[in-house]
Amino acid sequence: MSSASDNAPLEPSSPSGPEWADPARLRPVFQSRRLIVGITGGIAAYKTATMVSRLAQAGASITVCMTESAARFVTPLTFQALSGSPVYTSQWEHIESNDPQHIALASRADAMLIAPCSMDCMARLANGQAPDVVTLIASAINRASTPVLLAPSMNEVMWSQPATVRNAAQLVQDGFTLVGPASGWQACRAVGPGRMSEPEEILAALATALTLARGARRP
């Protein structure tokens, strides 16, 4: 049986427990929020389908963008159906307007999440490169007011490479928020750090970032 407190807004400091799997509980934080979800080429892309579905059920307005590699793991059609909106797979196809769409999308977003964020995507962002639609949109977001969260996902050796360690530190210094990665079973049958954090933990971090950004914007 549910009680009134079941629907109370979740505090940003809430632990990433099972409540983050319940769209009704997510609604107070995510309702009408304009979110961009970027997906890059990693096995964990299937977990992002769960997150997009929960965000849609919570009333968020979601724009999904995918790299070419990401579209080899999960089809854009899946995310189009889950988000209820067209999916951006190329910076050269203008879906909504004749204006530079990456600027338009970036300027009206409340937050962006890139999940999974590949080793290569981390390197591109850490170096200020924007050769694909995901990094292009991310690069057009002003992180002083709009949070950009990255959920790295890769094999444990890739995660421990000096380049990845350097890039992770640089990204944090540059104002990106890293969520995870977690440690555990990996699709390559290794066990160790590098697997993408679970959807509940990422949604909790996204909620925290949104709440903090909204608080910072208040006069």
Ligand X SMILES: Cc1cc2nc3c(=O)[nH]c(=O)nc-3n(C[C@H](O)[C@H](O)[C@H](O)COP(=O)(O)O)c2cc1C
Active site members: 188
User: In the complex with ligand X, which residue's Cβ is closer, 40 or 61?
Assistant: 40
CB of 30 to ligand X, least distance (A): 25
CB of 82 to ligand X, least distance (A): 19
Q: How far apart (Å, rounded) are the C-alpha atoms in residues 203 and 16?
A: 8
CB of 43 to ligand X, least distance (A): 5
Of residues 205, 204, 207, 187, the one with CA closest to residue 195: 187
| Contacting ligand X within 47-76 (CB under 6 A) | 67, 69-70
User: In the complex with ligand X, which residue's Cβ is closer, 21 or 130?
Assistant: 130
User: In the complex with ligand X, which residue's Cβ is closer, 40 or 167?
Assistant: 40
* Among residues 26, 33, 37, 40, the one that binds ligand X under rule CB under 6 A: 40
Please name the helix (run of DSSP H) or strand (run of DSSP E) that holds residue 173, with its range, or none.
Answer: helix 162-173
Query: How many residues are there in the chain?
Result: 219
User: In the complex with ligand X, which residue's Cβ is closer, 158 or 171?
Assistant: 158
CB of 116 to ligand X, least distance (A): 6
Q: Is 153 in the site for ligand X (CB under 6 A)?
A: yes
Write the interaction track for ligand X spanning residues 111-140; mark x where CB under 6 A is met and - where it is not.
-------xxxx----------x--------
Q: Which stretch binds ligand X (CB under 6 A): 11-19, 74-82, 103-111, 153-161?
A: 153-161
The C-alpha torsion from 135 through 138 and 144 to 149, rounded to 10°, is -90
CB of 118 to ligand X, least distance (A): 3
| Contacting ligand X within 167-186 (CB under 6 A) | none
Q: How far apart (Å, rounded) are the C-alpha atoms in residues 127 and 121?
A: 10
- The identity of residue 193, as a single letter, is P
- Sheet with 148-152, strands from edge to edge, namely 87-88, 61-66, 34-39, 111-117, 148-152, 177-178
User: In the complex with ligand X, which residue's Cβ is closer, 29 or 51?
Assistant: 51
Token digits for 9? 């807004």
Residue 7 CB neighbours (<10 A): 12
First to last CA, the chain: 40
- Cα dihedral 195, 211, 135, 95 sign: positive
Contacting residues toward ligand X, per CB under 6 A: 40-43, 67, 69-70, 118-121, 132, 153-154, 158
